[in-house]
Chains A and B, each alone.
Chain A
Amino acid sequence: MIRFENVSVSFKQKKGNIHAVDNVSLSIGKGQIYGLVGASGAGKSTLLRTINLLERPTSGKVFVDGKLINGLKGEELRKHRRNIGMIFQHFNLASSKTVRQNVEFPLKAANVPKAQISKRVEELLELVGLSDKSEVYPSQLSGGQKQRVGIARALANNASILLCDEATSALDPETTTSILNLLAGINKKYGITIIIITHEIDVVKAICTEMAVMNAGRVVEQGKVIDIISNPQNPFTKNLISHSDNYNLPDYVVEQFGGDSIVRITYFGEEATNPVLSEAIRTFNVNISILHGKIDYISHSPVGTLIVSIKGDPKDVQNAIDYIKNKTLRVEVGVNEFQYAGGT
């Protein structure tokens, strides 16, 4: 388990101190895939680096598996780091070393006996699906393959924690999916705690169970991914999420139905089986037209979004909205409530 207690990291600069991380307290459970999201410069990467002390906290405490790690030095620090794998946005493989030599490096650094090294390297390369590339140099690999080597290197010493610093940000969507699947598989197979830093909310949606949102060095929201994505509280979080699914209705549709009549309904998958809309139509004598609909799978649970127009007697419409509100997760009335002015 990883626990941050009032952790701050500041950098001295000519124009004064910069508080990259500002008084963060956070707990990350064992075996989780934890997402740390925020815009670039939010301090998430700095926070992540305090776990293996690539960055030292200016104040506050970092606990890993119950042990305070702030002051670790020398051999103790290196031992601590061997338990924590890390992968990077730009892979950071040694270009002068073959795939095999790159994966061997952490083993040699940990003084693993020679006889065990080659066996372990074979295992790791098989795990990441690169057994046939062992004698190849990184420059001959694709981005996805490089990241697989990075993962093999990070896991070489049987790390119990894997830190992913924007690990998929330099990859195309298809490769991102395959790397995320690999990470999820590793998490399941070995029970490794994985912490993923990303500015792409879709990455978090795909494999994380819990998440924290960072803005300007602070954690502004934390909890289960499904709760935060389906019902964000902080304006910054809302903004971040709307960027990833900013479906804007075409202007003529909004004009045709009237912006005030347009309602966005968010519901969990289980609620979809209840015929909420048809009940509302029948009970309150309103007309409902479906303008847009989709289902997202967040942490493997379906979350639905429907954009509808509700028309009828104002009182009936209000009653219908209240009724739907009761039966679903969230209802936003009026197109301006959920759509940003100016369109996409």
Chain B
Amino acid sequence: MNFNMQEALKTSLFETFYMVGFSLVISVIAGGILGLILYLTTSKLFFKNAIINQIFGVVVNILRSIPFIILLVLLLPVTKLIVGTTIGPKAVVVPLTVTAIAFYARLAQAAFAKVDNGVLEAAHACGAHPLKIIFSILIPEALFGLVNGITVTTISLIGYSAMAGTVGGGGLGDLAIRYGYQRYETEVMFVCVAILVVIVQLIQLIGDSTAKKVNKESE
């Protein structure tokens, strides 16, 4: 073995965290807002507007229908524009984020749609401003679904980040492919996959316990 596996793992782990972490934060915020817009424009209790809803809906659908590996390439000019480079973990963050925004937007929309209309109606009957209802009722009531959505998105992001090698993005998935598969160093692959399995398990565990904490419905 002519390379230091420990060092390589460390670097790859950091790259994975870097890519996933950055795109997660941005996509949860942007996707959450997009999901909120999608929900608000379908709800009679808020700002029902078929046209705006269709526009955002189509954009989200297009982004979601393009395979990630294609998106990675398609977005190269945009990536260059935003982060100034098309290789490395930094460059992967852009397509990862774009995909995750569309992904999380639909999950967030579903979480908002699950909130009992009666509760929102009661808030309207109190004479509350729609913004007040969104922030004090809708989002807290949807929190369980929103948190679960974050968990699912994070795990998907880890999966997508494995394709990052295509643009020299690095990360655990990339390490597993390049050393483990292409250079027949099977043990590297096993170690990488094992680490990924542990990370995913941990994220699911943390996600579930957080969701349980915010869910006051069934105590």
Give chain A's interface residues, CB within 8 Å of chain B.
52, 54, 77-82, 84-86, 88, 90, 92-97, 105-106, 108-110, 137-140, 150, 153, 156-157, 163
Contacts and interface: CB of A to CB of B under 8 A. Distances in A.
Given A81-B125, A82-B126, A94-B141, A105 B136 contact: yes
B9 interface: no
A82 B123 CA distance: 10
A90 B119 CA distance: 9
B123 A84 contact: no
Contacts of B118: 88, 90, 92
Nearest to B128: A109
B125 A86 contact: yes
A234 B162 CA distance: 74
Given A78-B128, A84-B125, A88-B121, 14 more contacts: A77-B127, A81-B125, A81-B126, A81-B127, A92-B121, A94-B140, A95-B141, A96-B216, A97-B140, A105-B128, A108-B136, A109-B123, A109-B132, A150-B122
Contacts of B136: 105, 108-109
B116 interface: yes
Contacts of B140: 94, 96-97
A95 B118 CA distance: 12
B155 interface: no
Interface range on chain B (Cβ under 8 Å from partner): 20 to 34
Nearest to A86: B125
A259 to B, nearest CB: 49
B127 A109 contact: yes
Nearest to B219: A139
Main secondary structure of the interface of B (DSSP, over half): helix
A94 B121 contact: no
A96 B128 CA distance: 17
Contacts of B128: 78, 105-106, 109
Given A86-B122, A92-B119, A97-B140, A110 B216 contact: no
B217 interface: yes
A229 B121 CA distance: 33
Nearest to B119: A92
Contact of A109 (B116, B126, B141, B218): B126
Nearest to A83: B127
Nearest to A80: B127
A153 B132 CA distance: 16
Contacts of A82: 126-127
Contacts of B125: 52, 54, 81, 84-86, 163
A122 B121 CA distance: 25
B123 A105 contact: yes
A96 B132 contact: no
A278 B137 CA distance: 66
Contacts of B178: none
Given A88-B118, A90-B118, A95 B216 contact: yes
Interface string B87-122: 000000000000000000000000000001011011
B126 A96 contact: no
Contacts of A84: 125
Contacts of A78: 127-129
B13 interface: no
